[in-house]
């Protein structure tokens, strides 16, 4: 690989994220269990979330709005104002969660920064992602921060042009095959998949991916031999 830039996803690649959503979903389901069984509540919430992605984008604020909308739908608008207040409180708790770095993050970034330009390429709410990056203490490793509304091929092409490099000089590291790997491979870049133990259903893809520019790693630390060999 003739790399110049290595980009990292943030949520569930550099720090823990999805478990906070899952914990909040459990509380949401318990709140509405008088109206539907919990598995049906989860299904309804997911449908509302996916429908709203084009309006709200990714992140906690959109999730809060989707929870309120789903609660009104599930309860046929019978849910009380106290429950709505609780949902808002769940969202604020998520926004104030501490940042838990994944194992080996500092060592990997410190090692790679000596050889490459490092970038954060993550999707989500601008203010929330900036807050998490600041709280993480990792900002000093990165040449550029790109908070994207989505991670499609055209979004990566725009980023690569901004970085003034060719696609084959770009490597993306992330936990989602759908968002971090497949679009990058499709435009001629390199990608390493580092799975997280839990992934949002919207990011699941069923594939046995084989590609000359693709590697699979068990942990973030395992990417170093691939890159520095």
Last residue of a domain, one of 95, 112, 139: 95
Cβ proximity of 180 and 172 under 8 Å: yes
Residues 87 and 177 both lie in one domain: no
Residues 107 and 212 both lie in one domain: yes
Average model confidence (pLDDT) for the chain?
92
Please list, in sequence order, all residues whose beta carbon lies within 8 angstroms of the beta carbon of residue 173, skipping any fewer than 6 positions away: 6, 7, 8, 9, 13, 180, 191, 192, 194, 220, 223
Residues 220 and 110 both lie in one domain: yes
CATH of the domain at 23: 1.10.150.240
Residues 209 and 180 both lie in one domain: yes
Residues 25 and 112 both lie in one domain: no
How far is Cα of residue 19 from the mean position of the Cα atoms in its chain? 12
Residues 55 and 124 both lie in one domain: no
Q: What is the pLDDT of residues 115-155, one digit of tens each?
A: 999 999 999 888 889 999 999 999 999 999 999 988 999 99
In the predicted structure, residue 204 carries a pLDDT above the cut 60: no
- The answer to pTM > 0.85 is yes
Cβ proximity of 36 and 74 under 8 Å: yes
Residues 170 and 148 both lie in one domain: yes
Residues 110 and 120 both lie in one domain: yes
Residues 155 and 175 both lie in one domain: yes
Cβ proximity of 170 and 190 under 8 Å: yes
Helix (H, G, I), strand (E, B) or coil at 206: coil
Number of domains forming the structure of the chain: 2
Residues 120 and 205 both lie in one domain: yes
Last residue of a domain, one of 95, 114, 129: 95
Q: What is the pLDDT of residues 29-58, one digit of tens each?
A: 999 999 999 889 999 999 999 999 889 988
How far is Cα of residue 127 from the mean position of the Cα atoms in its chain? 15
Say how many C-beta atoms besides its own lie within 10 A of residue 42's C-beta: 18
Q: What is the pLDDT of residues 59-70, one digit of tens each?
A: 899 999 999 999
pLDDT average, residue stretch 187-197: 93
Please list, in sequence order, all residues whose beta carbon lies within 8 angstroms of the beta carbon of residue 227, skipping any fewer than 6 positions away: 1, 3, 6, 112, 171
DSSP result, 128-148: HHHHHHHHHT-GGG-SEEEEE
The C-alpha atoms of residue 88 and residue 67 are separated, in whole angstroms, by 9
Residues 11 and 71 both lie in one domain: no
In the predicted structure, residue 197 carries a pLDDT above the cut 80: no
Residues 30 and 70 both lie in one domain: yes
What are residue 80's phi and psi, to 5 degrees? Answer: -80, 165
Give residue 120's domain range.
Answer: 5-16+99-228
**Residue that the structure tokens 């990165």 belong to:** 142
Burial class (CB in 10 A: 0-12, 13-18, 19+), 186: middle
CATH of the domain at 141: 3.40.50.1000
Last residue of a domain, one of 52, 69, 95: 95
Cβ proximity of 77 and 93 under 8 Å: no
Cβ proximity of 148 and 172 under 8 Å: no
């Amino acid at each position: 690989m003739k790399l110049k830039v290595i980009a990292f996803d943030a949520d569930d690649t550099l720090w823990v994220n999805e478990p906070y959503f899952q914990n909040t979903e459990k509380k949401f389901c318990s709140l509405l269990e008088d109206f539907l069984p919990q598995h049906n509540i989860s299904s309804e919430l997911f449908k509302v979330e996916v429908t709203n992605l084009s309006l709200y984008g990714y992140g906690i604020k959109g999730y809060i709005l989707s929870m309120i909308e789903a609660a009104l739908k599930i309860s046929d608008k019978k849910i009380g104002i106290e429950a709505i207040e609780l949902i808002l409180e769940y969202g604020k708790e998520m926004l104030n969660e501490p940042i838990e770095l994944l194992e080996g993050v500092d060592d990997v970034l410190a090692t790679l920064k000596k050889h490459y330009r490092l970038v954060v390429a993550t999707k989500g709410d601008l203010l929330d992602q900036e807050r998490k990056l600041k709280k993480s203490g990792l900002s000093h490793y990165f040449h550029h921060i790109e908070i994207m509304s989505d991670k499609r091929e055209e979004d990566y092409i725009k980023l690569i042009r901004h970085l003034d490099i060719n696609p084959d000089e770009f490597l993306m590291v992330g936990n989602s095959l759908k968002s971090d790997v497949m679009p990058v491979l499709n435009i001629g870049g390199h990608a390493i998949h580092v799975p997280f133990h839990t992934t949002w259903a919207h990011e699941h893809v069923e594939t046995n991916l084989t590609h000359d520019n693709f590697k699979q790693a068990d942990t973030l630390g395992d990417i170093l031999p691939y890159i520095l060999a």
